[in-house]
Structure formats: structure tokens, C-alpha cells
Amino acid sequence: MSNADMVARDLQVVWHPCTQMKDTERMPPIPIKRGEGVWLEDFEGNRYIDAVSSWWVNIFGHANPAINDRIKTQLDTLEHVMLAGFSHEPAVELAERLVKATPAGLTRAFYADNGSAAVEVALKMSFHYWRNTGHGEKTRFINLSNSYHGETLGALAVGDVDLYKKTYEPLLLKPLTARSPDCYEREPGVSWEEHSRAVFADMEALLAEYAHETCAVIVEPLLQCAGHMRMYHPVYLELLREACTRHGVHLIADEIAVGFGRTGTLFACEQAGPEGQPNGISPDFMCLSKGLTAGYLPLSVTMTTEDIYQAFYDDYANLSAFLHSHSYTGNPLACAAALATLDEFERLDQVNVNRRLAQHMADAVAPLKDHPNVGEVRQTGMVLAIEMVRDKATKTPFDWRERRGIEVYRHALTQGALLRPLGDVIYFMPPYVITPEQIAHLGQVAAEGIERAVST
Ligand code: PMP
């Protein structure tokens, strides 16, 4: 079967996510036949480095032998059982290990099957906690501008990216939005720390005014991924944790994209604390998905505290239980993939290995910093982003309708790399099995692609 045959069949029946389907006339989907390590291979043998980890999920490469084996063994034992009234070993072992791996105080794991669902669980659980404890007046949430937390109606409501949200606005609950500590917006000469600290005043003011009616603040720690990979300083998390406690408001850390080593530590929340000696913060809820199964199977978990768990622990007749459920909650195959993922982190000492890889990523794009159409090259651990602009001095963006990022994407495909951009932001967020040579290749492809994109 050729690529063209596959595409023809696809376009007869499949409606693709996050896609204007008319675009497929110019950019047909690329049919992938197999994957191996960082590579994706189409039906005609063309290979592409999966530099965006297939929407940030893949961690240890495609068709990873260790993860494959674990899933195959699980498959012959138990493929699925519902988690209400029943239990199974992979779900129990995974919860035990996540309690140990996540910040102190997160002692309970509530499973679901995708990131948006984990966010919905955190929002509902927070609201319901306050209700169960006699605070029915708390009904609101605070988010950050430019944040993203998923696409289901609740998760979409607490996001702030117009592209995904605006159309559905009439259907959504209305959060209170504090200014993002995004350091791309800092004035010249101002450090990341100074900027993020100063912007916190906006959050503090919202909390001071609305804490009495607010259930929780939700943030993506350190990095607003779908918000064009905008980054901020960990001091913001420290200030936020302290303020949430002081104001009696929960803190929800959405580590769906940034968790599992992306930011340089296993979880981004670990980086909060004094420079050089961070001891991390503990949120009241931590949402995990994506890298949880190394990109193998849909699974998510909302970690929470004993205090929150206990507020639901009651006689049935009081009707205070958390009844949220999804059919595939805690699927054993997905839990097996997650257990294999945690094993790989330990076996490979991956968090430390990533320090070296992150340096290679920085080196690969170093020349781009001075490019007249690059507003910023920024990096947090294993995520590196290059923001293309029309004018470097003023950081004036290109007209979004020119879709220059797509030109970089198209060029990269001809050079064996999958670099799906976010608007005019080109980024690397690769599987951790990538080699320094492959990173160097990505740097070269991005530089050529940007040159082409800005000179048309
Ligand atoms: N939160 C964040 C920070 C995300 O990046 C995403 C997915 N891109 C989600 C939530 C939603 O996860 P899912 O796509 O699995 O619903």
C-alpha cells in the first residue's frame, strides 16, 4: 500500500483532531506504518524524527522493547476490569509508586483515562470538597492567562487560549484570570525571577478579593505548553503555594504535559524553592497523563491529599461520595505501561541523562538566538522553543494568517523531522532516547526551515 492509497482511504472516513480538514488538500496526513525509537516511518519507508513526542506523550521511544514486554505480559493476564468494587495489581502498584514519586502529601490516586478528564476530576473534587466541608459558597476557579488544560467543557473553561476556547464561550463556566508570569513579556534588563515575582501581584490581588468564593487556582507549573511554550520562573510557584494556603484555596498543578522529566526534574513542582536548593512545593491536586504511560496508552491520574480524601469518607446515606467515573478508569494495560515507564526512569537514571541532552538541545540552536526573525530562544529542561517574529527589537509577531510556522513544518518533513509548530513557535520536545547527533540534525533543520519561512 502506498502513502497515497492510505491517505485516500483516510480522507474518506476520518475527521482529524485539531485540524481544518480543508488543509489536507495541501497537507495530507502522513500515514505512519511503524515506529522505532525516535523514528516514525511511513508506508513508503520515509522516516521522521518525532521531535514533538507525538503531542508530548512519548518518552522512551516508539515500540520500546521493555514497555512492549510489560504490556504483552499484562495482556495475557488481565486486559481490563472496572475499578468500582474491583481492583487489580497494576492499579495498586502504580498508585503506591506515584505516592512515593510525587511531592509529599499527595497520598491518594484517582484514575481516569485522559488528561482533560484528570483536570475535570480535580475541578469537581475541589468544588465538592468545599461543599462537603460546609463551604458551598466556593464555586469559582482562578486560572492564568494563556493557560491550557484540555478540551472537554470544564477543562476548556479553565484554559485561556482563544483559538480553542472562544467559539464555545457561551457554554463555559467563567474563571477569574490572573496575568500569566510568562517571561517572554518581561521588559529588557528584567530577570525571569524579577518578572515572575512582580506579576504575582495580580494573582495576590485576585485571591485577596475572591478567595471566599474560589475553590482552587489551576496552573501548568513552569511552562504553558499549548500556550506557545511560554515559560516562567519557579519563584511563582513558591509564592502561589504560600498564598493559596493563606487564603484557603486549593492549588491544582496540571503536570499533564510538564510531568515525567520534561522540565529537568521528574515533576516541575520540585523546582520551586531557593536557587540552588529547591525543595519543591506540594499542590493539593496534581494531574498527570501523557508521559505517565510513555505515550503508549490513555491513562491519567489526579493525585490528592489525605485531607481531601477524608472529606468524602462518610456514610453512604449522606451522599457525599465522589461518583465521577469513566469506563476505562485505571485500565490494567495502561497501568502496566506506566509501571514499565517508572522502571525505565530508574534503570536509565533518565532525569540525570536529560541534563546532558538538554545542553545538546541548547547548543544545537545557539546560532538562532541572533537571527533577526527570532524573538526568543527559550528552554526549560527538555523543552526548547524558538519564537519567530517579524521584528526582533519590538517582538512584533508575523500576521498569524501567513502561517509561517507551517512552512518550517513542511521543510522539516522533507528533511526527516516532525516539527509540528504552535503558530509561529517552533519547538523541540523529543523522546528521551534521542541522540546528540539527532538533536544536532533538528537544530540544522529548524534553522533552515526558519530561514525559508521568514524569507517568503
Ligand atoms: N493539560 C495540559 C497542560 C495539556 O497539555 C493537555 C494536552 N495537550 C491536557 C491538559 C489535556 O490532555 P488530553 O489531551 O489527554 O485530554
Q: Where are the domains of the chain?
A: 31-63+350-455, 68-348
As a whole number of angstroms, the distance between CA 332 and CA 81 comes to 8
Gap from CA of 330 to ligand 1 centroid (Å): 18
Q: Are 70 and 339 in contact (CB under 8 A)?
A: yes
Output the pTM of the full model: 0.98
pLDDT digits (tens, 9 = 90+) for 134-154: 999 999 999 999 999 999 999
**Ligand 1 neighbourhood includes 257 CB (under 6 angstroms):** yes
DSSP letter assigned to residue 38: T
Cell of 90: 497494576
Q: Per-residue confidence of the chain (456 residues) as pLDDT tens digits?
A: 899 999 999 999 999 999 999 999 999 999 999 999 999 999 999 999 999 999 999 999 999 999 999 999 999 999 999 999 999 999 999 999 999 999 999 999 999 999 999 999 999 999 999 999 999 999 999 999 999 999 999 999 999 999 999 999 999 999 999 999 999 999 999 999 999 999 999 999 999 999 999 999 999 999 999 999 999 999 999 999 999 999 999 999 999 999 999 999 999 999 998 888 888 999 999 999 999 999 999 999 999 999 999 999 999 999 999 999 999 999 999 999 999 999 999 999 999 999 999 999 999 999 999 999 999 999 999 999 999 999 999 999 999 999 999 999 999 999 999 999 999 999 999 999 999 999 999 999 999 999 999 998
Q: What is the mean pLDDT of the chain?
A: 97
Residue 187 confidence (pLDDT): 96
| Buried/exposed 226-257: b ≥16 CB within 10 Å, e otherwise | bbbbbbbbbbbbbbbbebbeebebbbbbbbbb
Q: What is the CATH number of domain 31-63+350-455?
A: 3.90.1150.10
**Residue 289 alpha carbon, nearest atom of ligand 1:** 15
Ligand 1 atom 14: residue of nearest CA: 115
Residue 273 confidence (pLDDT): 86
Gap from CA of 119 to ligand 1 centroid (Å): 9
Which residue from 163, 289, 300 has its CB within 8 A of the most atoms of ligand 1, so it is best to mutate? Answer: 289
**Ligand 1 neighbourhood includes 297 CB (under 6 angstroms):** no
**Ligand 1 neighbourhood includes 258 CB (under 6 angstroms):** no
Ligand 1 atom 7: residue of nearest CA: 150
CATH topology of 31-63+350-455 equal to that of 68-348? no
| Buried/exposed 285-309: b ≥16 CB within 10 Å, e otherwise | bbbbbbbbbbbbbbbbbbbbbeebe
**Ligand 1 neighbourhood includes 280 CB (under 6 angstroms):** no
Gap from CA of 56 to ligand 1 centroid (Å): 9
DSSP letter assigned to residue 103: P
CATH architecture of residue range(s) 68-348: 3-Layer(aba) Sandwich (3.40)
**Ligand 1 neighbourhood includes 154 CB (under 6 angstroms):** no
Which residue from 57, 147, 148, 285 has its CB within 8 A of the most atoms of ligand 1, so it is best to mutate? Answer: 148
Gap from CA of 150 to ligand 1 centroid (Å): 5
